[in-house]
Amino acid sequence: MDFGFTEEQLQIKKAVREFALREIAPYVAAYDQEERFPVEIVRKAAAQGYMGGVVPVEYGGAGLDYVTYTLIIEEISRVCQIVGCALSFPSGLAGSAILRYGTEEQKQKYLKPLAQGEAFASVALTEPGSGTDVAAMRTTCRRDGNVYVLNGAKAWISFLDVCDWVLTFATLDRSLGHKGICAFIVERGTPGMTFRPYAHKLGFKPLCTGEVVFEDCRVPVENRIGEEGEGFRVAMCAVENGRLGVAARAVGMAQACLDEVLAYARERVVFGQPIGKFQLVQSKITDMVVGIESARYLTYRLAWLKDQGVQDVRREASIAKMVATDVALMAATHAVQIFGAYGCSAEYPVSRYYRDAKVFQIVEGVNELHRVLIAEYTLGYR
């Protein structure tokens, strides 16, 4: 068992840390408050090769191993997990399904610009009436010659302000359950597809999130990803690969909470001593350190298993996602408490971490779902 990193991985981690401190840290509080996606920062990161991730070089990616990719997403997210989210998209939620199920033409047309930071994508799976229960979706597709006609609505879809295309899902026949689902890429500007962004939300504020409505939206047959009826698998491929990115983002953000707390606990004096001297504060710091280390190694292990070519890592993905996001919320909660009233102000980033950490427990599978899945895999029910 080798817990070390290669020299190259350590150099990349250091370079990413320096990039994040220089190019993201001075601006993150402002764009979070403005609820503005920092497209210029993401493009700079892409120019450094941080967006290409595990996508093969022939499709515009960096061709990295999963451990190095995880280190990049973690270090970026230690400063801003929203930039981490954007950088994880080509390897995770948006790109992985195209890499696995897309045709050569689809990979060149859609995956390549995404991996190079020249295009952005949305993944529209959740609906107003169904989130966790994906197969209960109501958006329909009907074949009409060389096109499919989509009708329905998706909810809580991110990147609506910048996306060039939307990976979405619709059913041919609801009675077929998950076997009736098809996946499509719908290009921005396609008649019949409209976006309705929400005004404000608890966390993830720089992401423009809202509804995607399809009204007799005609999508060319060549934009179907995978075969007819294979859309559920495409969706599961997307979310399962997305979970590594979410875990890495959550670990990075939990570490940021600890970084803030260590500095503050040493300098804030109460009852004549730094608060770091109080054992109840130390207890919180210990919870954070142990939680972060556990989450980090579960996340790296998931990445390492993928690097070994292990095909079925669904159980490990659920474990990493659930633990890392639960730890992120615990770390952010402790951080706000240790900062006292200052933890509630925008002057320090811990209030942002607290808001974002709650959302982490909901996206890419609510943690209750992962709790059930982990038991079912272990019991052999799946």
Ligand X SMILES: Cc1cc2nc3c(=O)[nH]c(=O)nc-3n(C[C@H](O)[C@H](O)[C@H](O)COP(=O)(O)OP(=O)(O)OC[C@H]3O[C@@H](n4cnc5c(N)ncnc54)[C@H](O)[C@@H]3O)c2cc1C
Which residues form the interface with ligand X (CB under 6 A)? 122-126, 131-132, 156-158, 201, 204, 209, 359, 362-363, 366, 368-369, 372
Q: Tell the smallest beta-carbon distance from residue 169 to ligand X (Å).
A: 9
CA end-to-end distance (rounded Å), the chain:
28
Total residues found in the chain within this entry: 382
Taking each helix axis from N to C end, the angle separating 279-307 and 231-267, rounded to the nearest 10 degrees, works out to 150
The CA–CA distances, whole Å, from 138 to 153, 156, 299 equal 8, 15, 34
Q: Which of 373, 250, 227, 231 is nearest to 314 (CA)?
A: 373
Q: Are 306 and 313 in contact (CB under 8 A)?
A: yes
Query: 247 or 275: whose CB is closer to ligand X?
Result: 247
Separation between Cα atoms, residue 310 and residue 288, nearest integer Å: 30
Q: Tell the smallest beta-carbon distance from residue 154 to ligand X (Å).
A: 6
Q: Tell the smallest beta-carbon distance from residue 372 to ligand X (Å).
A: 5
Mapped onto helix, strand or coil, the DSSP state of residue 351 is helix
Q: 261 φ, ψ to 5°?
A: -65, -40
Q: Tell the smallest beta-carbon distance from residue 109 to ligand X (Å).
A: 21
Q: In which region does residue 260 sit, left (phi positive, over 0), alpha (psi from -120 to 50) or beta (all else)? A: alpha
> In this structure, what DSSP letter does residue 119 have?
-
364 given a catalytic annotation = yes
Mapped onto helix, strand or coil, the DSSP state of residue 313 is coil
Query: 125 or 172: whose CB is closer to ligand X?
Result: 125
Query: 156 or 353: whose CB is closer to ligand X?
Result: 156
Q: Tell the smallest beta-carbon distance from residue 375 to ligand X (Å).
A: 11
Q: Which of 65, 74, 56 is nearest to 8 (CA)?
A: 65
Instruction: Look up tokens 């719908």; give the residue.
Output: 186
Separation between Cα atoms, residue 69 and residue 260, nearest integer Å: 25
Q: Which of 65, 165, 43 is nearest to 116 (CA)?
A: 43
Q: Are 240 and 317 in contact (CB under 8 A)?
A: yes
Query: 68 or 140: whose CB is closer to ligand X?
Result: 140
Helix, strand counts (H, E) of the chain: 13, 10
Catalytic residue among 35, 364, 368, 376: 364
Query: 116 or 126: whose CB is closer to ligand X?
Result: 126
Q: Which residue is nearest to ligand X (CB)?
A: 131
Q: Tell the smallest beta-carbon distance from residue 155 to ligand X (Å).
A: 7
Q: Tell the smallest beta-carbon distance from residue 150 to ligand X (Å).
A: 15
How many CB atoms are located within 10 Å of the residue 242 CB? 26
Query: 210 or 226: whose CB is closer to ligand X?
Result: 210
* Active site amino acids: 364
